[in-house]
Chains A and B, each alone.
Chain A
Amino acid sequence: MGIIKTDKLVFEYIRRDEEGNVEGITRAVDEVDLDVKQGDFIAILGHNGSGKSTLAKHINAIFYPTEGTVWVDGMDTQDESKLWDIRQEAGMVFQNPDNQIIGQVVEEDVGFGPENMGVPTKEIWERVEESLKAVGMYEYRKHSPNKLSGGQKQRVSIAGVIAMHPKCIILDEPTAMLDPNGRKEVVRAVRALNDVEGITVVLITHYMEEIIHADMVFVMDKGHIAMEGTPREIFSRVDELKELRLDVPQVTLLAHELKESGMNLPDGILTIEELTEALMANYKGTK
């Protein structure tokens, strides 16, 4: 069993009108089977309302399944006695940095999690230091969070999660509110956590170019998993993705359109280097 596993996970909520009468039932997550290996970097894509955030909130027991089971590191999320262990092992980072920071000083904010876990003071400081270094924010440890840029705040939020020494971290559109540099900073920090520290990453995003390095990509639609594969496999299916209200990185789209217009290019080009290589090989062929 992987670090995160779901078995026929279903989540339903009841819609009510103003008088409280039941209007209907919405199945937000519909029989999802997921198995994530320790140390993997997985991405979840899907249009607004496809169920990806609802799925993510099951991984650290914010939501409980209506049917089916979710295990985090072998622990069933419905087992109340394991609740705090699960939340410590699976940390979550949300979209809006301003909703996640509570400390007056960066290092205080990062220490909040371990402090609540009852970690001895000396070790809290060690954890704060290593976490801030891991996201490249150590030099800001004495700063006030509200003077930081969006990307810096998100990295502080991530440090706050990793100070709890989780085995996996779930990021729900962490870059949606950031400028291009902020986005780059956050994605770089997340990749480093995965590469260097071996933390399992689940990244939910609408920015296709952020996930080209993921091990696996899951695309959600109407609560179930509509596509799954490596980024190259997924981004080779440009037309299907468009049907699901999604997109591909600009470089992939350009390669796809050039190919459609009759040029000899492989499917699923993900980086500028790959496109350049493929085009130059063609160019030399024509000379």
Chain B
Amino acid sequence: MSLILDHVNYIYGGDTALAVHALNDVNLVIPDGQFIGLIGHTGSGKSTLVQHLNGLIKPTSGSIYYNGEDIHDQDYDKKKLRSKVGLVFQYPEHQLFEIDVFKDVCFGPKNLGLSKQETELRAYAALKQVGLEDEYFYQSPFDLSGGQKRRVAIAGVLAMKPEILILDEPTAGLDPKGRDEILDQIARLKEETGITVILVSHSMEDVAKYVERIIVMNQGSVLYDDVPREVFKHYKELEQVGLAAPQVTYIMQALASRGLPVRTDVTTIEEAKQEIRSKFL
């Protein structure tokens, strides 16, 4: 059970002078149950890549295999793929439309042709998974706060029971607490259900805190694909491609350069605290 990208290329405007090589020979294996961070500057190919993962875009060349089957085979059931690989777009709350929260979340499973009972069970479970209290279920989604709306939108995708959940900047525009709440909820969901999560993010601090593997995109290619500690060792190269390391990594670098014998491959506050304290005790 996994998602495999084999020599995937994507070129748009291919027959014109304006051809852009948006993905360039991308090879990735995404096994079950990983929490992956996908980072890269604006225009690096992140969004193009995630749209390939559920078949929204067809590669110009190369293949994508989901559980061993080529998703662009003629008789492959794309509809099923899209329920298994759930994609939460940026600002997903703009896609809410129903008159109440519960109906909105029911929309996906209902369209899968499930029974009313199964649809409602799934909607209920999904809203619980994103931590929305019952009192909001029959309110208009438009009366909720930004963070709540976004949770409803995520629940709409979860109600499809995906095996892979892709979130494109799920915390953009949220206040710090709202950001932590959403990410904590996603981490808990991953722990409880074993779902694969791909988090597209511009926050190096968030990525360092939550994920176990980081894929760095640059100019349509995979620049790094490793655990956070290893990826952020390349902070100078990351800066060259418009990214950075978390602020704590720079703190440790600064301390080391002043002669304090601390490890510099630190990516979270907790680690930094331990490491610094160990030098003073």
Contact = CB atoms under 8 A, between A and B. Distances in A.
Contact of B243 (A176, A180, A208, A273): A180
B242 A283 contact: no
Nearest to B246: A250
B69 to A, nearest CB: 35
B41 interface: yes
B212 to A, nearest CB: 20
B147 interface: yes
B79 interface: no
A179 B217 CA distance: 13
A181 interface: yes
A171 B144 CA distance: 25
Interface centre among A48, A149, A173 (most CB of B within 10 A): A48
B277 A261 contact: yes
Contact of B250 (A149, A258, A272): A272
A17 to B, nearest CB: 9
A24 to B, nearest CB: 11
Interface in B125-180: 145-147, 172-179
Contacts of B260: 279-280, 283
B176 A279 contact: no
Contacts of B248: 250-251, 254
A114 interface: no
Contact of B273 (A48, A245, A249, A258): A258
A276 interface: yes
Given A179-B243, A250-B205, A272-B250, A245 B175 contact: yes
A95 B204 CA distance: 20
A180 B177 CA distance: 20
A225 B277 CA distance: 37
Interface string A253-287: 11001100101000000001101100110110010
B42 A182 contact: yes
A279 B173 contact: no
B243 A47 contact: no
A50 B147 CA distance: 13
A221 B264 CA distance: 38
B42 A150 contact: yes
Contacts of B251: 250-251, 254, 272, 275-276
B1 interface: no
Contacts of B22: none
A272 B243 contact: no
A208 B280 contact: no
B43 A282 contact: no
Interface in B232-281: 242-244, 246-248, 250-251, 254-255, 258-260, 269, 272-273, 276-277, 279-280
Interface string B14-35: 0000000000000000000000
B202 interface: yes
A272 B280 contact: no
A178 B169 CA distance: 11
Interface string A153-179: 000000000000000000001001111
Interface of A: 46-50, 95, 149-151, 173, 176-183, 206, 208-209, 242, 245-247, 249-251, 253-254, 257-258, 261, 263, 272-273, 275-276, 279-280, 282-283, 286
